[in-house]
Structure 1
Amino acid sequence: MATIFTKIINGEVPAEKLAEDDRFLSFLDVRPIRPGHTLVVTKQETDYIFDLDDDTLGGLLPFAKQLADPIQRATGCNRVGIMVAGLEVPHCHVHLVPMDRISDLDFGKAKDATADELAEMAARIRTEL
């Protein structure tokens, strides 16, 4: 059965997409820890990050890196943190989270975002890409 991320990749579920190539897709998390919280997913549906082939794993961070500065400029954060949790959706992904302090990387702070909030933030980040 396809994961929610595969459904987003295939256009079956809407998302505020930011960047995409033949192997990766980035979009805003609908339950962000902080505004601008972005997910970077592999288009290859693989559950565990360390089960990815070396080429895909090696391309994941450079793809994510291109988003860090735009997210930082759009949100005004001090840094963009990166986390790999991999338990909530069985599809390899990394979290890019705008942060000013280490305590900002707390999934307990996540809140549902409205479609308008996501659209506005996506537009701000896309402007910076």
Structure 2
Amino acid sequence: MSTVFSKIIAGEIPGRFVYRDETVAAFLTIEPVAYGHTLIVPVEEVDKWTDLAPELWARMNEVAQAVGQAIVEEFDCERAGYLIAGFEVPHAHIHVFPADDMSGYDLSSAMRADATDPAKMDQAAATLQAAVAAKL
């Protein structure tokens, strides 16, 4: 059975992509802790990050680092937060988000999808897409 992330990757449902190659995709989450909150996922459906092939895990982290660098540069934040939770969707993924304190690590405080500003989401995606493309 396909996960929601697989459906986004396949174009079956919309997604705001920041980066994509043959093994890894990065797109904005619909429920961000801050604008720019990006998910880095393997194209292959693997539930747990601990089950990923080492090469794929390394590639995901390479992309996550580039996204994190872009977030710090473009969103004027202290750090890029990095979190592996993995309970909400059974498809391995890394959360990378603008962080000035620990509040972003509490995913229960994320904005609801219907509370985000679509224009701000589109702008965040475009900004990160350009910045990440320059890094990878």
TM-score w.r.t. the length of structure 2 is: 0.89
1:128 maps to 131
User: Separation in 1 of the partners of 2:8 and 2:31?
Assistant: 15
Counterpart AA for 2:108: G
User: Separation in 2 of the partners of 1:99 and 1:11?
Assistant: 29
1:25–1:43 contact (8 Å) kept in structure 2: yes
1:81–1:105 contact (8 Å) kept in structure 2: yes
Within the alignment, does 1:81 sit opposite 2:84 as a pair? no
Counterpart AA for 1:88: E
* RMSD, aligned α-carbons: 1.2
Q: 1:79-118, aligned counterparts within 5 Å?
A: 79-111=79-111, 112=113, 113-118=116-121
User: Shift in Å at residue 127 of structure 1?
Assistant: 3.4
User: Shift in Å at residue 57 of structure 1?
Assistant: 1.6
Q: Number of residues paired by the alignment? A: 129
User: Separation in 2 of the partners of 1:3 and 1:104?
Assistant: 24
Runs of 5+ consecutive residues of structure 1 not aligned to the other structure = none
1:97–1:105 contact (8 Å) kept in structure 2: no
1:28 maps to 28
Greater mean deviation of Cα atoms: 20-29 or 60-69: 60-69
2:4 maps to 4
2:68–2:97 contact (8 Å) kept in structure 1: no
Which 4+ runs in 1 deviate beyond 3 A? none
User: Separation in 2 of the partners of 1:12 and 1:115?
Assistant: 19
1:83–1:96 contact (8 Å) kept in structure 2: yes
User: Separation in 2 of the partners of 1:104 and 1:46?
Assistant: 25
User: Separation in 2 of the partners of 1:6 and 1:101?
Assistant: 31
User: Shift in Å at residue 52 of structure 1?
Assistant: 1.0
User: Shift in Å at residue 118 of structure 1?
Assistant: 1.2
User: Shift in Å at residue 33 of structure 1?
Assistant: 0.7
Runs of 5+ consecutive residues of structure 2 not aligned to the other structure = none
Instruction: Output one character per residue of 1:10-45: Cα deviation in whole Å (capped at 9) or x when no partner.
Output: 011111101111110000111001111000000010
- Paired-residue identity, %: 33
1:56 maps to 56
Instruction: Output one character per residue of 1:57-96: Cα deviation in whole Å (capped at 9) or x when no partner.
Output: 2222112111112111221111001000010000010000
